[in-house]
Structures are given as C-alpha cells and as structure tokens.
Structure 1
C-alpha cells in the first residue's frame, strides 16, 4: 500500500522569526485583517476561505504566504484546505505585547474611522 505524500509548508523556527519581518507582514491592511480574524478564534484553525477578503485568490494566497514566511501564522493542509492558526505563543515569547498592541491599535483605528 502506497501512502499519499503529505504536503508540508515551510515555516521559520521560533528563533528565526525577525521583528522586521513580522512588522512588514502586519503592515498590510489585508494581512492585519487575517491576523485579527485568527486572533479572535484563539487556538482554533480557520481555512483560508473562511476569511473574507475582497481580493483575488492569487492575492489572498500571496498575503497568507507573507504571514507564514514571517512566522505570524502556521498553515497546514487538512485534505485540500489550508488551515491557519496564529503563532501567538511564538510571537508573545519573542516580542512581548507586540501582537496585543498592534491588534488593539487596529481595533481603535477601525472604531475611529467608522465613528
């Protein structure tokens, strides 16, 4: 019996995650929306298609790749779906309060602009 190969995606190890890469990943409004969505889920996974972004599929794929390669999210395949989780534990260990601060500032800005 031949097993089906598992499609694995490359992720940086915790010690390879760099502040400038994380800040770059979080600087885009679409990527920040993804991170906010995942943060609200806690430890639960979400498929890429669960997160509504008003952009093309190829652009969505690009944004998820930037987040994964920066070490902000973890992606794994479950069947044909890519499932996403926020790497909160890694980010909080490396950059205490950064994620909390960025997400809080984003929420405050959205309230102000909708205001």
Structure 2
C-alpha cells in the first residue's frame, strides 16, 4: 500500500506519523462494499459525507468501544473509502469521494442516498 496523497507525504517530511492508504489502482469494489456493509462504518461515512470538511475521530459518537471504533476507521481507510491524516495529535478523516467516483461512478452517492432513506424510514442509526 502506498500513501494516498501529498498531504500525508508532507506530514512524513515534518516527522509526523503517516498511515498507509491504498493507491487508486489497489482499491477493489469488493473491499468497498464490504466496508460499507457494516452499520457503524456506514454511519461514519454518512457523517463524513454531510460534513463540510475533515473530521477528527473524536467527533464521532459511536455506541461502541474505542478499540472497535478504531477498527471501523481502519477498515474504511484500508478499503480506500476514507483518508486519515495526522495533524498534530489529531487524526483527521475525510472521504476519498473523487477517487471512488473515478473508479465506481455513482456508487457512493447511491449508497448514501439509500442509507439516508433507510434512516428516515426505520429511525436512527443503530
């Protein structure tokens, strides 16, 4: 796996921690669909999609333990759905929307639309 973007590389040059992200040609549909199939991970993706920018991990209020939350973020990062960058001690999260759209046109918007309709139909995220 290789770093996904220049900001991560500049963090490395400054001595910061860098997380591995799949390169565009390493992102696979089955990994993306697997990551999106979990309700907690889908909830994270919905919140990131609704945000105007990156969000810290602590911004998410998930009804799971910290270690489980960390696992969910790792699955999303390793599947290519999100990018995580350290800024100081904060781990910032953002959707790789452009990359996903280039590889799988319309997929993310379709999944998000369906998830939002389901939340309206059956209630809050579980």
Task: Say whether the fold is shared (TM-score over 0.5).
Answer: yes
TM-score class, shorter? over 0.9
Partner Cα separation in structure 1 for residue 104 and residue 14 of structure 2: 38
Partner Cα separation in structure 2 for residue 52 and residue 94 of structure 1: 30
2:112 pairs with 99, 103, 112, which one?
Answer: 103
After superposition, the CA RMSD in angstroms is: 1.5
Equivalent in the alignment of 2:97 = 88
1:23 pairs with 26, 33, 36, which one?
Answer: 33
| 1:6 corresponds to 2:16 | yes
Unaligned 5+ runs, structure 2 = 1-12
Matched residue of 1:85: which SS? strand
Matched residue of 1:5: which SS? coil
Partner Cα separation in structure 2 for residue 84 and residue 14 of structure 1: 17
Provide the aligned length of Structure 1 versus Structure 2. Answer: 112
2:83 pairs with 61, 74, 81, which one?
Answer: 74
- Superposition TM-score, scaled by structure 1 size: 0.93
Question: CA-to-partner distance for each residue in 1:29-60, whole Å, 9 max, x for gaps?
Answer: 00000000000114x11000101101100000
Unaligned 5+ runs, structure 1 = none
